[in-house]
Amino acid sequence: MRILVTGGSGFIGTNVVEYYTNKGYDILNIDIAKPKYDAAQAYWEECDITNLTQLSHLVASFNPDYIIHLAARTDLDGKTVDDYAANTKGVENILKVAAGVSNLKKILITSSMLVCHTGYQPKDQYDYAPTTRYGESKVITEQLVWDHQPTCDWAILRPTSMWGPWFGVPYRNFFDMVKAGMYVHTGHRSCTKTYGYIENGVYQIDCILTTPTTDKANKVFYLGDAPAIFIEEWADQIAHEIGRKIPRVPFWMMRAAAFVGDALSLVGIHFPMTSFRLNNMTTDNIIPLDNTLKIAPAPPVDRPAAIKRTLEWMNRYS
C-alpha cells in the first residue's frame, strides 16, 4: 500500500505518518515543514502544495494508491481568505494532480469543524456557517471537492478539537496551564464539547480510508470522541493525574478579566483572557459523529489512558 500524506509534518499528519510506517506501508509525506522527529525525515519531501509543477512531479513519481490530504494553514490570524491559499489553491492543485493518478483508490480531503461556528448544528453536509476567515477558506475547500469530485472513492474529513502527542496551540496550552496550576474553573459555567484524542482520530482516518464511502449523501465525516467531554471533568482528570486540584473562580471575576484582555488587545498587548476566549470556554459544541461511528465504532484509547499518554509525551519532549 502506497500512501501519500500531505501535511505529514503537522500534528495530525505526524501521527498518521507514524501509524502507517509502523504498519510497514510505503509512505511519502510532502510538507513545507520538516518532520517533528528525526526518523520521519526518511519519508519527507519538501513541497508547497500551491506549486502545481512541483506537486505534480512528486505525486507522479510516487504514484500513490491512496492520498490523505491534511496540508493546510490552520491558524485564525489571517485577515482575508486569500491568506489561506493552501486551503483554496492548494486543494485545487491536489484535485488536479489526483485526477492524473490512474491507480488511485481513494482520497481523503481534510476540512475543519469550523466551517460552522461553535454551537451551530449543520442541517446537512452542505450547510455552512463560518465566522472566521479560516472557516471560510475551509468552506471553499469543501466546495472545490463537490465541484470537482474525484473519479475514485473520496470523503471529506472534519477534525474536531484534536489533542494528544505532538499537539501544539491551543490545546497544548490547556494541558500546560493545568500542569502549571494556572487553570481555573469558570464559576459554574463549564461547557461540553466534542474533542478527539489523536490516536482515536488516526484510527478513524484509517477506517474511513479503507471502507467504501460511495454514498454521495454521506461524504462528510467528523473526527472526534463520543461522548462529548464535560471540560471541567476533563481538566480535573488531568490535574488528578499530576497531583493537583483546580480552584474555582467566580464568573464575574473571569468576565472582568476578559474585559481587561479586550482592552489590551486593542493596543496590541496579549492577555490570556478575552471575551472571545471566555465565550468559547462556556459555550457547548457537540458535534454529530454518527457517520464516523458507523465506520469506526471501536476507538482504541479511553480518556484516562489518553491523558496518561499525553502527559508522558509532554514530559519527554518538554
- Does residue 87 belong to any structural domain of this protein? yes
For the beta carbon of residue 199, count every other beta carbon within 10 angstroms: 19
Domain residues for 46?
2-159
> According to the model, what pLDDT value does residue 171 have?
84
Cα(182)–Cα(285) distance, integer angstroms: 24
pLDDT per residue over 235-273, tens digit each? 999 999 999 999 999 999 999 999 999 999 999 898 888
Residue in 8, 22, 3 with CA at minimum distance from that of residue 105: 3
Q: How many domains does the chain have?
A: 1
What is the predicted pLDDT for the residue at 114?
Answer: 96
- What is the C-alpha R_g of the chain? 20
Model pLDDT, residue 118: 86
90 inside domain: yes
What CATH number should be reported for the domain holding residue 79? 3.40.50.720
User: Could you tell me if residue 198 is inside a domain?
Assistant: no
pLDDT at 136: 98
Q: Coil, helix or strand for 197?
A: strand
* Structural domain contains residue 181: no
Give Dmax (Cα) for the chain: 61
Give the position of cell 476578559: 258
Residue 279 pLDDT = 87
Q: Is residue 275 part of a domain?
A: no
Residue 277 has what pLDDT? Answer: 83
CB-CB contact of 46 with 32 (8 Å): yes
Task: Give residue 143's pLDDT.
Answer: 98
Strand order in the sheet with 44-46: 44-46, 26-31, 2-6, 66-69, 106-110, 153-159, 220-223
pLDDT tens per residue across all 318 residues of the chain: 999 999 999 999 999 999 999 999 999 999 999 999 999 999 999 999 999 999 999 999 999 999 999 999 999 899 999 999 999 999 999 999 999 999 999 999 999 999 999 889 899 999 999 999 999 999 999 999 999 999 999 999 999 999 999 999 888 999 999 999 989 999 888 899 999 999 999 999 999 999 999 999 999 999 999 999 999 999 999 999 999 999 999 999 999 999 999 999 999 898 888 998 888 888 899 998 999 999 999 999 999 999 999 999 999 987
pTM: predicted TM-score of the whole model, two decimal places? 0.94
Q: Residue 55 burial by CB count (10 A; 0-12/13-18/19+): exposed, middle or buried?
A: buried
Query: CA-to-CA distance for 57 and 132, rounded, in angstroms?
Result: 34
Q: Is residue 231 part of a domain?
A: no
Distance CA 171, CA 195 (A): 10
Specify the length of the chain in residues. 318
Residues 140 and 173: beta-carbon distance below 8 Å: no
Buried b (16+ CB within 10 A) or exposed e, 63-84: ebbbbbbbbbbbeeebeebeeb
- Calpha distance 193→119 (Å, rounded): 9
Cα 292 to chain centroid, rounded: 15
Q: What pLDDT is recorded for position 191?
A: 93
Whole-angstrom Cα distance, residue 173 to residue 165?
13
In a domain, 229, yes or no: no
Question: What whole-number distance in Å separates Cα of residue 297 and Cα of residue 294?
Answer: 6
Question: What is the rounded (10 degree) CA torsion for 19, 21, 24, 30?
Answer: 120
83 in a structural domain: yes
The grid coordinates of residue 35 equal 518532520
| Model pLDDT, residue 272 | 80
Is 41 exposed, middle or buried, given 0-12, 13-18 or 19+ CB atoms closer than 10 A? exposed
| pLDDT attached to residue 190 | 86
For residue 316, the one-letter residue type is R
Q: How far apart are CA 8 and CA 216, in angstroms?
A: 27
Q: What does the pLDDT read at residue 204? A: 98
Among candidate residues 115, 145, 143, 112, the one with its CA nearest the CA of residue 129: 115
Q: Is the N-terminal amide bond of 64 cis, ω within 30° of 0?
A: no
Residue 45 bridge partners (DSSP): 30
